Structure 1
């Protein structure tokens, strides 16, 4: 499950969604970071208010947070709450990195590679001693190492995909169609094989809504309007046939002016939206394309805290979770391991 941080919704809705995920037996929750809460503060609150045993914090912008800050944050949440904490890194966008934080957005593949290397050493309990092109740190060591923390990398574009395949435990994608999953699966397998290392797991965040109403489609459009402009996403949406929307987004500064023009076909192209059967078929399509793990992003405009969608999917999830060989298999016990938290 992924906390969605829907725009134009109350900030504290995130805690309600987390409680729903916990009540429905989800055992892994992703927490990104946008314009509401500091993610480590939110992770501490979620861990204290739910029974979810595993949190993934991120993707965090490598141009904003240093490896030391990320390691300290993850270790703080894990130590204070007793919850397992994984981390994910990403490039974010020029708007967030440069406009909000006044940091340089360039050089992200190299910066990410260096960040993963340093973060892995720090989480493992080693003292920092690194001098790279973008990352320089010396002397720091965690008081509470987290050697079992998994490191993910959000990949969009060939260079970041290569870095993720060669360094990360998990590659993370967001707002992509199943066909894109198949392409990335082939790429990361090839990059990893060339480096002589096991291929990382492939995770995808999928917006989901069972029986959506007009308010839900507007909620999805409001969020997608943010992604039409950034590099990579705009090109992907253009390939999907929405080039006019991308050009409009890049020619204007107003998100709200774009929302009315986004058709239902756009969220449907990069999510699992529709009847219960349609949602399950769509989730299955992502697995069949090569995803190991699906992070569900529930809508809330017509469904308070995503309760109905999460209840439906949790009831039907055992038939969708891939087993050790990639074949579908039921899951024993009462909970679900996020969705698709099996091993390829």
Structure 2
């Protein structure tokens, strides 16, 4: 079974509290899942609690959070608090993040593969009510799904072995198909695959600027750069890795690169792109609404929802 959810983005050109409005819009439009991440605005567990209290039924997926930042105890406490205070279903997603965030921002050691494996195992055990390192959660949440964000072969192996779901962000449908094959080769029962894609209805200049600004961040990092090169944009990748200013890179990003890793255009075209990701092997698609010309993504979500089957919402 496939499903479509909504991701609360953190656009740098928008008010941080718009994340709450996006979640409310997703709930009102009938979507079944909202993803709540974390960057430089709100604590994800606090934001998830606020979302749960302002919406009526939508389930919560918290993360991907950097696995090397919070301990398994802290992750379990946060998830348990959200579930208890909102009386809402919630899942947890973890990612490697980056050395800058893990080491510079939070002062933790950068050991992504080992830390991910240990964090998933211990957090799952604590949420299931087991005692870990002398700690037992008073309000366990057994069966909580834990998703693992994966980009690159090492983390994909961890995700296949430890995760209840694998999450990809800002990738092409062809990349989804390739990861699907990798997962099938790694295990006889591969976890389902979720993918986040930016989405916008009939984007105008401001929306395209917003999407270009996001893409510019991903041109240089390993993995993403190679994917963009395979899509025919190696010159941009080379320039990003050579240190060309991000603002200049953003201006140089063509619309076809946005289209390759997202869903933009008419409602029918956006829905069609969602189907392409399902055909490539994704079981869940998380829409990341562009909001520069569509506050809270309300128009996108209310327009698109009727085009999706009830099972997918």
| Distance in 2 of aligned mates of 1:301 and 1:19 | 18
Structure number with higher relative contact order (C-alpha < 8 Å, ≥ 6 residues apart): 2
Is 1:206–1:296's contact at 8 Å kept on the other side of the alignment? yes
User: How do residues 52-67 of structure 1 correspond to structure 2 at under 5 angstroms?
Assistant: 52-67=57-72
Report SS of the residue matched to 2:216. Answer: helix
Partner residue, 1:176 = 171
Q: 1:152 aligns with which of 135, 144, 147?
A: 147
> Once the 2 structures are TM-superposed, how far is the Cα of residue 110 of structure 1 from its aligned partner?
2.2
Is 1:203–1:292's contact at 8 Å kept on the other side of the alignment? yes
Q: Is 1:34 aligned to 2:29, yes or no?
A: no
| Distance in 2 of aligned mates of 1:284 and 1:308 | 20
Partner residue, 1:279 = 270
| Distance in 1 of aligned mates of 2:205 and 2:198 | 16
Q: 1:233 aligns with which of 224, 229, 239?
A: 224
Q: Deviations over 1:86-137 (max 9, x none)?
A: 00111011221222223222x3122211111111101100010xxxxxxxxx
Is 1:7–1:222's contact at 8 Å kept on the other side of the alignment? no
Q: 1:80 aligns with which of 72, 82, 85?
A: 85
Question: CA 1:205–1:84 in 2, change beyond 3 Å: closer, same or farther?
Answer: same
Partner residue, 2:122 = 118
Q: 1:185 aligns with which of 173, 180, 190?
A: 180
Is 2:27–2:58's contact at 8 Å kept on the other side of the alignment? no
Question: CA 1:99–1:245 in 2, change beyond 3 Å: closer, same or farther?
Answer: farther
> Once the 2 structures are TM-superposed, how far is the Cα of residue 258 of structure 1 from its aligned partner?
2.2
The TM-score normalised by the length of structure 2 is 0.94
> Once the 2 structures are TM-superposed, how far is the Cα of residue 247 of structure 1 from its aligned partner?
2.2
| Distance in 1 of aligned mates of 2:182 and 2:269 | 28
| Distance in 1 of aligned mates of 2:239 and 2:105 | 23
| Distance in 1 of aligned mates of 2:308 and 2:116 | 34
Runs of 5+ in structure 2 lacking a partner?
Answer: 1-5
Q: Deviations over 1:130-159 (max 9, x none)?
A: xxxxxxxx1111111011210000010111
> Once the 2 structures are TM-superposed, how far is the Cα of residue 249 of structure 1 from its aligned partner?
2.0
Is 1:29–1:52's contact at 8 Å kept on the other side of the alignment? no
Q: Deviations over 1:263-315 (max 9, x none)?
A: 21221110111122221221111000111011111111111211111112101
Q: Deviations over 1:48-107 (max 9, x none)?
A: 1111341000111112121111111101111111111100111011221222223222x3
| Distance in 2 of aligned mates of 1:27 and 1:337 | 8
| Distance in 1 of aligned mates of 2:305 and 2:75 | 31
Partner residue, 1:203 = 194
Is 1:26–1:52's contact at 8 Å kept on the other side of the alignment? no
